[in-house]
C-alpha cells in the first residue's frame, strides 16, 4: 500500500497568511488553523487532507484591535473576485467563488459555527498553488503602509512605559479544540471536552509542554496551538505505561503509604482516648458534681457490639478510601498525568 503524503497547506493560502501577517504583525493567531482536528475528520471539510496531502482551507483570527477585521478582509476578497476562491465563511454568511452558486453573493450559513471568531477561506484545487499576491490591502487601511516616525526632539522627557497589553481572552471554542486535540494525542488526563480551563486541562497542557519542548505553564498561546497541530500521538515508555504497582510505589514515594498501619494507629489512639475519658475525666467530674452521670448512663445503654461494629465500619471505609487514592496515584503515573 502506497504511503499517504504528509499533510501540507496550499501555497496560495500560505501566500494569503504571509500577507496578513505582514500587514498586521501584532495580530492574534488564537483561532488560526488549517489542519482539521478529530471532529473535522468525521465529516466532509476542506480542513481535511486530500489524497495528495493538500489542505485547501485556512482560518484567520478576528482581531480588530491589532489590524485584522475579518468582515473587512472578507469584503476585500469578494471585491477582488479572486479566481482561487472556492468559498468564504464569515459572520454567519457563506460566499461562493466564481464556480459556486450565486457567485460572490452573501448567503445565510446554516452550519453550527457561525465563524465570528475567524474568517474561513477555501481555495479550488486547480489554483491551490497560485502564489499571486492577494488584493487585500484595502481591508487594513493605514496598517498597509505604516507612517514614518518623526525624528525625536533633541531634548524630550522620557515617556512612561505603556502598560502591558493583556493577552486576548481564550474563547470556549478554542479551549474545546485544544482539549479534543490533547485527547486525540493520548493525553487522557485532560478529562472531558467542556470548554473550561480546569485543573485536568491544565495538567494535560503542562504534560504536553514538557514532552514537546515548550516553555513551562498551563496556558493556551500561539506556540501551544501550533505545536498541537504538528504533534504526533503520545507514546509512553513501557517502563512507565506497563509498570506494576510496586515499581510505581518505588518511583513515586507519595503513593507508597502503609495506610493499614495508619488506620490501626489512629483507632488505637481513639480507643485509648475514649477509655481515659470515660474512666478518668468523666469519673472525676461525676464524683465532684454528679452532672456527667446521664452521659455515662446513655453510653452504657448502647451494647458493646454496636460500638465495635460502628468503629469497624468507619475504619473499613477509611481503609478502602485510602486504597482508592493509592490506585489513582498509580494510574496517574502510568498515564503520564503524574510526572
**Do 80 and 37 fall within a single domain?**
yes
The answer to whether position 153 is within a domain reads no
| Domain identity same for 138 and 187 | no
Asked if residue 203 and residue 178 are part of one domain, the reply reads yes
The total number of structural domains in the chain stands at 3
pLDDT tens digits, 316-326: 666 676 666 66
Q: To the nearest whole percent, how much of the chain has pLDDT over 70?
A: 63
Q: Is residue 98 part of a domain?
A: yes
Tens digit of each residue's pLDDT (9 = 90 or more) over 237-252:
555 555 666 665 555 5
Is the pLDDT score of 10 beyond 60?
yes
**Residue 65 pLDDT:** 94
pLDDT tens digits, 121-140: 999 999 999 999 999 999 99
Closest CA relative to residue 33, chosen from 303, 230, 254, 271: 230
Determine the pLDDT at residue 20.
96
Would residue 156 count as lying in a domain?
A: no
Q: Is the pLDDT of residue 333 over 60?
A: no
Mean pLDDT for the chain? 78
Statement to judge: residues 194 and 219 lie in one domain: yes
Q: Which domain holds residue 298?
A: 241-335
Residues 100, 77, single domain; the answer is yes
Whether 152 maps to a domain, the answer reads no
Same domain, 64 and 133: yes
Nearest CA to 255 out of 246, 263, 244, 264 is that of 246
Q: What is the pLDDT of residue 4?
A: 76
Average pLDDT over residues 286-311: 57
Phi then psi dihedrals of residue 111, to 5 deg: -70, 165
Q: What does the pLDDT read at residue 305?
A: 60
Statement to judge: residues 200 and 247 lie in one domain: no
Which cell numbers hold the place of 204?
494535560
Polymer length in residues for the chain: 339
Residue 261: band (very low, low, confident or very high) from pLDDT cuts 50, 70, 90: low
Amino acid at each position: 500500500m502506497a504511503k499517504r503524503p504528509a499533510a501540507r497547506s496550499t501555497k496560495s493560502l500560505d501566500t494569503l497568511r504571509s500577507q496578513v501577517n505582514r500587514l498586521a504583525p501584532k495580530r492574534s493567531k488564537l483561532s488560526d488553523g488549517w489542519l482539521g482536528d478529530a471532529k473535522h475528520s468525521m465529516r466532509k471539510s476542506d480542513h481535511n487532507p486530500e489524497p495528495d496531502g493538500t489542505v485547501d482551507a485556512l482560518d484567520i483570527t478576528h482581531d480588530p484591535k491589532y489590524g485584522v477585521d475579518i468582515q473587512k478582509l472578507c469584503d476585500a476578497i469578494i471585491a477582488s473576485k479572486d479566481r482561487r476562491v472556492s468559498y468564504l465563511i464569515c459572520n454567519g454568511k457563506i460566499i461562493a467563488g466564481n464556480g459556486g452558486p450565486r457567485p460572490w453573493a452573501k448567503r445565510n450559513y446554516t452550519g453550527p459555527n457561525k465563524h465570528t471568531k475567524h474568517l474561513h477561506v477555501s481555495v479550488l484545487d486547480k489554483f491551490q498553488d497560485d502564489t499571486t499576491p492577494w488584493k487585500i490591502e484595502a481591508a487594513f487601511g493605514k496598517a498597509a503602509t505604516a507612517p514614518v516616525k518623526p525624528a525625536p526632539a533633541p531634548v524630550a522627557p522620557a515617556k512612561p512605559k505603556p502598560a502591558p497589553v493583556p493577552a486576548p481572552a481564550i474563547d470556549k471554542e478554542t479551549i474545546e479544540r485544544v482539549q479534543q486535540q490533547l485527547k486525540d494525542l493520548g493525553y487522557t488526563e485532560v478529562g472531558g471536552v467542556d470548554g473550561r480551563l480546569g485543573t485536568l486541562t491544565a495538567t494535560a497542557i503542562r504534560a504536553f509542554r514538557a514532552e514537546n519542548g515548550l516553555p513551562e505553564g498551563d496556558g493556551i498561546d500561539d506556540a501551544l496551538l501550533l505545536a498541537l497541530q504538528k504533534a504526533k500521538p503520545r507514546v509512553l515508555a513501557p517502563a512507565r505505561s506497563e509498570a506494576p504497582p510496586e515499581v510505581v510505589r518505588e518511583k513515586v514515594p507519595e503513593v507508597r503509604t502503609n495506610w493499614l498501619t495508619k488506620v490501626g494507629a489512629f483507632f488505637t489512639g481513639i480507643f485509648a482516648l475514649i477509655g481515659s475519658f470515660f474512666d478518668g475525666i468523666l469519673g472525676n467530674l461525676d464524683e465532684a458534681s454528679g452532672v456527667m452521670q446521664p452521659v455515662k448512663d446513655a453510653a452504657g445503654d448502647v451494647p458493646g457490639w454496636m460500638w465495635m461494629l460502628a468503629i469497624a465500619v468507619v475504619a473499613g471505609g477509611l481503609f478502602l478510601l485510602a486504597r482508592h487514592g493509592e490506585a489513582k496515584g498509580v494510574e496517574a503515573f502510568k498515564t503520564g498525568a503524574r510526572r
